[in-house]
Amino acid sequence: MSQEQLYQRYLPAMLQAKHEAEKQQLWQRAGPEVRYYIDSEVQKRCGEGADKLTMNSHATLQPITWPDLLTMDVAYWQQRQWRPQQQPAASREQLSPLTSSSTSTSTSTSQSRLLASVPPDYINLYVGEPIRLFYHSRLVYGHLYSALHYIVLHAEHMVQRWSQAHFPYQWPHEFYAAPTERVPPTVSLSDGHDWIKPYFLAHCEQWLQTQHFDWLLELNQALNQQTAAAYVIEYQDDKGFPWVDFVCKNEDALRLVRPDHFAEDIDHIAASPDYLSHHVQQFAAQLEKQCRDVGW
């Protein structure tokens, strides 16, 4: 059954809709069972590899043509770093195994070079990338993370909640400088401080952003010294759709997962997600201490 036939049978109004906004409204009003069934059938046609996988950010690299997630992401990282005036044509040819008219042998050689030479300043870009695939024989909606980004993002979210609960912090003798303007120094604390809360929270958010890359560097080095593992976190959204966060621990784990056999390889190195929960809590406590040390 084609995609048009699926809509004709289960959601015929979609075929008469003239505008994208109208199609979206019709789709949102359709029952969850109908939407999930159509998505499943469409995924069987558009997905690739053993699990009918599709990815979002890395889609232009045609994921199943790469030997593993690490090699593909190094190419994607190089693509993001590339500037026409700075990078020679020979380097541009390595961005994808399909950008050259060379034979499959030369493609394999190019991928092997990428695999063997991870750039020293490389930090992976698996930051909750949206993916879809059939996992354990059912369609799941998901995100692909490295543990690096999963831990830092969740820890920062916890610190942001802490900053709101902890306000007004330990009031210093002078007001902090807000990101875009200075708080009037004549206002007394006895006047209340709810009005000033947005300034302080914005200042704290700005400070977190300035520290973010340093935290990534520190944690990336620590994780890459550990053994490979993957973590599978399954849950449902408010409509009952199945979601999964797939988290690869480090570069060695990314090297072990083939896009065209994603589920098999993830399951082969799967470990308890308690590791992630523990490290998110631990890293959040470390960030909170740094916040306290600078006076928040």
268 vs 295, more confident: 268
Mean pLDDT value across residues 108-121 = 61
Question: What is the pTM assigned to this prediction?
Answer: 0.76
Query: Sign of the C-alpha dihedral, residues 155, 156, 158, 162?
Result: positive
What DSSP string runs through 30-86? S-HHHHHHHHHHHHHHH-BTTTTBEESGGGGG-GGGSSSHHHHHHHHHHHHH--TTT
| Type of residue at 2 | S
Considering the chain, what is the average pLDDT of its residues? 79
Task: Write b or e for each residue in 76-107: b if 16 or more Cβ atoms lie within 10 A of its Cβ, otherwise e.
Answer: bbbbeeeeeeeeeeeeeebbbbeeeeeeeeeb
H-assigned helices in the chain:
3-10, 13-16, 20-29, 32-46, 69-81, 89-92, 104-116, 147-166, 197-223, 251-256, 262-268, 274-293
Provide the token pair at 81: 């770093």
- 39-56 pLDDT, tens digit per residue, is 999 999 999 999 999 999
Cα diameter, the chain: 76
DSSP label at 137? Answer: T
Give the model's confidence band at 295: pLDDT under 50 very low, under 70 low, under 90 confident, else very high: low
| Type of residue at 176 | Y
294 pLDDT above the threshold of 50: yes
- 146-200 pLDDT, tens digit per residue, is 999 999 999 988 887 877 766 555 544 444 444 444 444 444 444 455 656 666 6
Query: In this prediction, what percent of the chain has a pLDDT beyond 90?
Result: 47
Give the model's confidence band at 63: pLDDT under 50 very low, under 70 low, under 90 confident, else very high: very high
Highest mean pLDDT among 29-38, 131-140, 282-291: 131-140
- 4-22 pLDDT, tens digit per residue, is 777 777 777 777 777 888 8
Cα-flanking dihedrals φ and ψ of residue 282, to 5°? -65, -45
160 vs 294, more confident: 160
Predicted local distance difference test score (pLDDT) of residue 16: 74
User: Do 81 and 167 touch, CB atoms closer than 8 A?
Assistant: no
